[in-house]
A and B are shown apart, each in its own frame.
Chain A
Amino acid sequence: GQQLNQSPQSMFIQEGEDVSMNCTSSSIFNTWLWYKQDPGEGPVLLIALYKAGELTSNGRLTAQFGITRKDSFLNISASIPSDVGIYFCAGQSGGGADGLTFGKGTHLIIQP
């Protein structure tokens, strides 16, 4: 089946630093998504990307849909303590009814 390789698995950074994480796939996706999951909660959508090459921002977050449609990255600028959590990339290859394929997540830890 489809797999998403997400890296890094974990990041230990200082508050105020920028963060970058990415996902790659062996197959094409039509939609790339980035989620954040806090302990005891379900994933929350951060950014959705619909077109190859698309670059989208949401506050301090920026994500891009790779032109090959097989990769995506997420950047977080000037990290703050509430950015701590697990970030997941997800891809959808078909239309609205298709399930999402998730990466294994990047665990972000911020040291004050």
Chain B
Amino acid sequence: KAGVTQTPRYLIKTRGQQVTLSCSPISGHRSVSWYQQTPGQGLQFLFEYFSETQRNKGNFPGRFSGRQFSNSRSEMNVSTLELGDSALYLCASSLGALLGGYETQYFGPGTRLLVL
């Protein structure tokens, strides 16, 4: 079974530009979560999508947005990039239970974004 894939793996942008990152979950997984990883702040939760709907959201500004398609693939968009947005962006997929209980999240290798 293929793991979580993320594209592109590396990206360089300049301040003010926007960027779109893509995540393909494990086949059969319906939930996709996004995380930002930086040396200073560590791993921080951005948002989670299930069945094309955002179910949960972390504490990030509105410049960070996402969406999920009917095949469960997800994209994350960052508009008006700032230097501080330089980070490793990780997505994780899980089966997507509708009721409580933790589900194992499988992480992709990440997209490393550098903002100049």
Contacts and interface: CB of A to CB of B under 8 A. Distances in A.
> A and B: partners?
yes
Contacts of B42: 88, 102-105
Interface size, B (range): 20 to 34
B25 interface: no
B109 A42 contact: yes
Contact of B55 (A30, A31, A50, A97): A97
Contact of B56 (A30, A48, A98): A98
Interface residues of A, number: 27
B96 A42 contact: no
A43 interface: yes
B70 interface: no
A101 interface: yes
Interface stretch (B11-19, B74-82, B97-105): B97-105
B109 A45 contact: no
Contacts of A95: 97, 99-102
A40 interface: yes
Interface in A1-21: 1
A68 B15 CA distance: 45
Nearest to A43: B107
Interface in B82-111: 90, 92, 94, 96-110
A108 interface: no
A100 interface: yes
A39 B91 CA distance: 16
Nearest to B90: A42
Contacts of B31: 96-97
B104 A48 contact: yes
A97 B56 contact: yes
Given A42-B4, A96-B98, A102-B42, 16 more contacts: A1-B59, A30-B102, A41-B107, A42-B90, A42-B110, A43-B90, A45-B104, A48-B102, A95-B102, A96-B101, A97-B31, A97-B48, A98-B56, A99-B46, A99-B48, A99-B58
Interface of B: 4, 31, 33, 35, 42-48, 50, 55-56, 58-59, 90, 92, 94, 96-110
